[in-house]
Amino acid sequence: MEAPVYGPRECGSCRLWRHILEDERGPIGPCRLGVRPGEFPGTAPICERYLSREEAVPGRPAPAPRSSGPRAAPPAAPPVRSPPVRTLPSRILEEVADMTREEFAQAVREALREESAEVRLAPKWEGGSVLLRPGDPATQPKEIPLDALFHKVVMVRDRLRVLEQRINAHPKLSDAEKVEMQQYVTRCYGSLTTFNLLFREEEDRFVGDRSGG
């Protein structure tokens, strides 16, 4: 599937918006600066903090060599002009400087998720379907393509992972509260292990409570 192309007045073309999930609106994701709460589509209009994806982090100039003593001046050489270095706006640097360690780690984790490989359906289920047959013979059964069901299962898994990360990074939750809420997320994973047979790669599957409790 080709990556969507966004216009210059849409959040999807902003460097601070990131695509992590998809729903009926298409690709959705959060803003790194939290300008809008939660996940929203890349087609949303830009805000005053918009940062083009062409904005680059400035490089560091090479240090000047140290002189150990007076030396003869080398022959004059024609001046070499370096291309102008584009710097990040000061407001972006201020936002990064104000981040806590957990918030910065969360931003890094989410950036790495953008580069993660696509979750794929196991080969034996490709082209398959699920048939829902009602108990009433007068009611028509419903057939659901397995790839559509698998897509929704992956969306649930990804949203649980985002929820888990936000619980861990929440600044107002105590460690005991984080552990308690994590247990609920883990139980959700355990309830969804039935769908593990659909995943091609083992590392993409749901993992519940390994303690047996």
Same domain, 33 and 46: yes
As for how many domains the chain has, the answer is 2
Q: Is residue 71 part of a domain?
A: no
Q: Assess if residue 69 is contained within a domain.
A: no
Q: Dihedral of CA 187/193/194/199: which sign?
A: positive
Radius of gyration of the chain from its Cα atoms, rounded to whole angstroms: 25
State the pTM of this model: 0.44
Task: Give the lowest-confidence range in 21-35, 52-66, 185-199.
Answer: 52-66
Side-chain-side CA neighbours of residue 140 (13 Å):
2
Tracing tokens 């460690």 back to the chain, one arrives at 175
d(CA 144, CA 87): 51
Domain membership of residue 167 as a residue range: 117-213
95 touches 33 (CB < 8 A): yes
Question: How confident is the model over 65-114, as pLDDT tens digits?
Answer: 665 666 666 666 666 565 555 554 565 556 666 667 777 666 666 655 54
Handedness of CA 71, 76, 81, 82 (dihedral sign): negative
Domain edge (last residue) among 114, 132, 162? 114
